[in-house]
Structure 1
Amino acid sequence: MKRRHCLAAALAAPALLRVPAHAQARPRTVGDRLQLLPPLAMPGLNRERTLRVYLPPSYASQPGQRYPVIYFHDGQNLFDEATSYAGEWGVDETLDALAAQTGFEAIAVGIDNGAERRMQELNPWDHPRFGLGEGEAYLAFVAETVKPLIDRQFRTQPGRAHTGLAGSSMGGLITMAGLCLYRGTFGRGLVMSPSLWIAPQAFDLVEKQPLPADTRVYVYAGGREDRDMVANAERLHRLIAKPAVATLRVNEAGQHNEPTWRAELPAALRFAFDLPA
């Protein structure tokens, strides 16, 4: 039985990272600057969620410095091969490398997915096969519960120009919806291989709630993905780019998997945060 934690517990000292029993044989690929916060209640969804927080290289040694924050979906797949279910993105290694190369440092917050609830949680719209969409409640949790918690507990730059939202597949879909629905909260987006086939309503949302002109969005699609991925990404990019700053990257050899998104992550971060190429 899960133990329910109140908000005060979420602000307590981070727990030690624990490896799921099914992943014991996999190598650990995470550094010592990743913190695992206690499970946090998700208002309106009657469940809890684990947050994984990467702190940048200078965080401990520069107590006066504040940092941008990037919120990633599918937190299990971001930092550690041992906790991933389909390979990891290497977010910590990528951000460490960018810090060394450019001086850019950011906090990365991984929000674990809901496993069997993932298809509902990361879709704001109902679907005949996957059921009622819970995406709006999930996004409210990210913007109204997770972000305020991170801003209180860590030294962040809380403004929208320093706050990103990132994800792939269903995570790419919910990222796009989050950029539109919380335009005052998120000003940077990494929309990787978005599952627009499951929710074409996303195109209408982008048209009806255009992004502010200073929003920066990186849209990615692979040529070896299914369901009109490239055509849908091209259409999405055209809609985003009317008011906002957006780029589209198509990798003709790109597949729908974590190694591909990991390889694309440095370029996506450089664009979203306007870093030197």
Structure 2
Amino acid sequence: MMLLPRTIKIWLPPGYNNNDSNENEIFNNNIRQQQQRHPVLYVHDGQNAMEDEDSWTGASWRLMGALTRLADHQLIGNNILPIVVLLPSADGDLLPGVRRRHLEYGDINFPFAQAHADFVANTVKPLIDDRFRTDPSPEHNFVMGSSLGGQASLHLMMRHPDKFGGAACLSPAFMPAMLDYVASTKGQDILRNKNGGCPKKIYIDIGGDMPSSGKSKDDDTFVRVSPIDVLDHLTPVHGWNPGYFWLDTQLQRQVTAMKKLLDKGGIEYQFRQYPGARHNERAWALRIDKPLQHLFSSNSDKRP
């Protein structure tokens, strides 16, 4: 199936190409760099991940700053920052009136979603591994996305478990076929690493209307998402960004269903709740360190 062309950006971590003026230091750095292989993070909705001006809401996940701060605090495994592959989704329609993103990030039985996952695994990843100093093993290649991008991330990992070792799903929009696949024997075998691949790291979070503790208690304070958040409207790129304040609340049911399936299968994962959190890039930026630590820290807890 033909997919529309797109420009894929690559973020290389600090020190990947060192331009130190000292020739001996350059030589030593080059030797170290030739020996050092980087993990890789593939990001759905990549145009929203790094730079505010590139994001369709005028705010980004601030991913670059989060990664470098985690490295400064030695919270990245082996203190080796990943190469980040930014997979865009904002431009172009596959069909008139139908956003490309809704098809490519759609349910796992959608032909366009399957084609997109295969494109990333079979075209993009080999190209990245060929051109950059990556560690191509699945235990060092991860996927991340929010909303439909969260579903696309889990889909990519499960469709190509031999190439990807983890998926971070922020406020994910899980759909019926995805839930059915996770419940199936094949899906459970993949997630439990039954066939000898690498153990899978899974991160899921959700915001929206919920008790402040994230648990159902009668005496707890219930937090609702405000329909208007002034800070969402003060971006230099977009003056009007309501932030989809209702979406995290609507997605809670599917997330709960996914948790039950993972629990039933005895599958390890990390789950976090953010009472009152909105469904937009600014909200995800406030907690972006959590999925990054889970994917890249060798000692991260599987559950909070």
Q: TM-score higher than 0.5 here?
A: yes
Partner of 1:49: 6
- Residue-by-residue CA offset, 1:64-117 (whole Å, 9 max, x unaligned): 211100100111111111211012111111111111111241111101115331
Identity, % of aligned positions: 29
**Letter of the aligned partner of 2:104 in structure 1?**
E
**Letter of the aligned partner of 1:256 in structure 2?**
H
- Aligned positions of 1:35-114 closer than 5 A: 44-61=1-18, 62-64=32-34, 65-86=36-57, 87-102=59-74, 103-114=79-90
* Stretch deviating more after TM superposition (56-65 or 157-166): 56-65
Partner of 2:203: 218
The number of residues matched between the two structures is: 227
Please report how far the alpha carbon of residue 274 of structure 1 lies from its aligned counterpart in structure 2 after TM superposition.
3.1
- In 2, Cα distance between the equivalents of 1:133 and 1:151? 26
Any conservation in 1 of the 2:207–2:275 contact (CA below 8 Å)? yes
More strand by share: 1
2:100 maps to which of 117, 131, 136: 117
Gaps of 5+ in 1: 1-43, 127-131
Q: Report which structure shows greater RCO (CA 8 Å, sep ≥6).
A: 2
**Matched position secondary structure for 1:134:** helix
Any conservation in 2 of the 1:188–1:273 contact (CA below 8 Å)? no
- Aligned positions of 1:119-138 closer than 5 A: 119-125=102-108, 134-138=112-116
User: TM-score, length-normalised on structure 2?
Assistant: 0.70
2:280 maps to which of 254, 257, 261: 257
Root-mean-square deviation (CA), in Å? 1.9
**Matched position secondary structure for 2:256:** helix
Distance 1:66 1:107, change over 3 A: same
Rg (Cα) greater in structure: 2
**Letter of the aligned partner of 2:7 in structure 1?**
T
Any conservation in 2 of the 1:122–1:171 contact (CA below 8 Å)? yes
Distance 1:53 1:240, change over 3 A: farther
Gaps of 5+ in 2: 19-31, 92-98, 194-198, 210-245
- In 2, Cα distance between the equivalents of 1:234 and 1:144? 32
**Is 2:177 the counterpart of 1:201?**
yes
Please report how far the alpha carbon of residue 276 of structure 1 lies from its aligned counterpart in structure 2 after TM superposition.
5.2
**Matched position secondary structure for 1:228:** helix
User: TM-score, length-normalised on structure 1?
Assistant: 0.76
